[in-house]
Structure 1
Amino acid sequence: MNRRQLLQLGLAAAPALVLSRAVRAADAELVVGSNVGAPPFAFKQGDIYTGFDVDVWNEIAKGLNRKWRMQPMEFGALIPALQTRNLDVVVSQLFIKPERQQVIDFSDPYYRSGLIAVVRSNNTTIHTPADLAGKTIGTETGTIAVDYIKDHIKDATLEQLPNINNALLALQAGRTDAVIYDKPLLLYYANTAGKNKVRVVQPPLEGRDVGIGFQKGSPLVAAANLQLAAMKADGRLKALNLKWFGEATS
């Protein structure tokens, strides 16, 4: 076979090779990152991961006909892992923020969350958000709560902990006066492991939309949005809200 024939054979095979690679990419197992120590959104129960975020993504993945595996990570490492393409997706109660939208893409919102504060149940000095001024406040590093404390709580001392469990332990140990974090998680804690140990400060601090994170330019964004729209239309998303929060909060 001469060089011309070899070249023609190579050109003929090129489209098939590109198509084969595209098919493999479309069938590849997706790596989904989440902070899995955050019930009721994502946590491990026995040998499986469960929670609201896990259920939402599982419904989306079924609609996409895509296999996936969970990659547990600390919250602060999730967006960098998307940027370096070590993750395909982040499903971890990720607030949609302009600065995040500059470096990753988001799905449409699938949940409306917010921030609240909790204090020890025997605290007699903090009753409203205004009372947080000048106090030592803990939260999880890398979260929107960090910016909120810096921008809105006058003269507060900020204690950033690796995860929310560490922040709550620091509160119980008396190293902080309050914890500010996501409303659903702190409400869940206050009614389960933290019952009679912490008190929720009213009213809530602020509300934010939550979306699923993707690599910049990912074709998964449009596909996930179609699945979310279907879940809203047929009641599956509402059912998951009722299952995990007892109310339709989306």
Structure 2
Amino acid sequence: MIARIKFGCIALIALTLSSVVQARSMEEIDKSGRLIIGSYGNFRPFTYFEDGKFTGFEVDIGNEIAKRMNLTPEWKPMEFDSLLTGLSQDRWDMVTASFGITPERSKAVLFTEPHYCTGGIIATTKPDIKTAEDLNGKKVSVQTGSTYFLALQKIPGVQVRNMSSDNARNALLTGKVEAWVTDKFVALLMRQKEQDTKGAARPLYLGDLLFSERVATAVKKDNHELAERYNQALASMLKDGTYETISKKWFKEDVRCQ
């Protein structure tokens, strides 16, 4: 999901400077009774719409976190690359949208404890493409602003096609690119869907993980009390079995960070 925004120097400076604006304090959040959560609405199975309802693994996690904080979650699905900017402008209290923890992002936001671990994987319709070296000279689709995009910049010879999450997937399935780099759970779900579809035009093969990452919720740099309350709620979920139940509902396995 996900984990995913590439920060250039200008964006980092802008986000860092804007963080001096005071976020809603925990007292203000408690008084309002609402926890406003910025998210991305098109990253199945983590955060997406189905029959008009916002759902997914991270939505279930966020709803349970809010419940344990005695707050009502108020989700704000937006374009992925606007989420951290919106956080810096106090449009929401936190961002839950498969953001991988990176040193660059950590300069601009405060990350909570991670709520799952994953990695960027190679997905392809060609069984001979398996490794990073195999991507040399190939056209590869990837989501704009993602850690997958950053990983591809380090591989020589890759012809990167930067686009939305859906378009990156569809570019592979329609043969416009030779590989797609995405979250491993997204790819696993897509492969299962292809296997379950009779007459699927292109079988999906999964290659190597290019990297592993921890995914967490982001709050503003100065909002330590909110991060601590979040971490306490997450710890209680991990301890009492609620997290495992939610995880197995979506992935049939426990995806917590070990």
TM (norm. structure 1) is 0.84
CA distance in 1: counterparts of 2:26 and 2:156, whole angstroms: 53
1:140 equivalenced with 2:143 (yes/no):
yes
Which of residues 233, 241, 258 in structure 2 aligns to 1:235? Answer: 241
> Is 1:199 aligned to residue 201 of structure 2?
no
Question: What SS does the aligned partner of 1:191 have?
Answer: helix
Give, in angstroms, the shift of residue 22 of structure 1: 7.8
Structure 2 unmatched runs, 5+:
1-24
Gaps of 5+ in 1: 1-20
Displacement of 1:202:
2.4
Alignment equivalent of 2:52, drawn from 47, 67, 71: 47
The CA deviation at 1:174 is 2.3
3-state SS of paired residue (1:207): strand
What SS class does the counterpart of residue 192 from structure 1 fall into? helix
1:138 CA drift (Å): 0.8
Partner letter of residue 137 of structure 1? V
Q: Which residue of 1 aligns with 2:16?
A: none
What displacement does 1:80 show? 1.1
1:118-129 equivalence runs, <5 A: 118-120=123-125, 123=126, 125-129=128-132
Q: Rate the CA distance shift 1:83–1:198 in 2: closer, same or farther, 3 A.
A: farther
How far the C-alpha of 1:127 sits from its partner, in A, is 3.5
CA contact (8 A) 2:137 2:157 kept: yes
- Does the CA contact (< 8 Å) of 2:194 and 2:203 recur in 1? no
Answer yes or no: is the 8 Å Cα contact 1:113–1:209 preserved in 2: yes
Aligned length: 226
Distance across 2 between alignment mates of 1:22 and 1:184: 33
Q: Deviations over 1:207-238 (max 9, x none)?
A: 11111111121121000000011011111111
Please report how far the alpha carbon of residue 173 of structure 1 lies from its aligned counterpart in structure 2 after TM superposition.
2.7
Aligned to 1:167: 168
Which of structures 1 and 2 has the bigger CA Rg? 1
Highest RCO, 1 vs 2 (Cα 8 Å, sep ≥ 6): 2
Provide the alpha-carbon RMSD of the alignment: 1.9
Q: Partners in 2 of 1:126 and 1:88 — Cα distance?
A: 42
* AA at the equivalent of 2:251: F
**Percentage identity across paired residues of the two chains:** 29
Matches within 5 A, 1:1-150: 24-28=28-32, 29-120=34-125, 123=126, 125-150=128-153
Q: Structure 1 175/47 Cα, relative in aligned 2: closer, same or farther at 3 Å? A: closer
Kept after mapping to 1: 8 A contact 2:123/2:179: yes
CA change 1:241–1:25 in 2 (3 A) is closer
TM-score by length of 2: 0.82
Which consecutive aligned stretches of 4+ in structure 1 deviate over 6 angstroms post-superposition?
none
Deviation at 1:137, TM superposition (A): 0.9
Q: Deviations over 1:78-118 (max 9, x none)?
A: 11111121121111111011110110111101101101011
Say which is worse superposed, 192-201 or 178-187, in terms of deviation. 192-201
Asked if structure 1 preserves the Cα contact closer than 8 Å seen for 2:62 and 2:96, the reply is yes
Kindly tell me: are residues 124 and 189 of structure 1, through their superposed partners in 2, closer, same or farther at Cα, counting changes over 3 Å? Answer: closer
* Code of the aligned partner of 1:239: T
SS of aligned partner of 1:134: coil
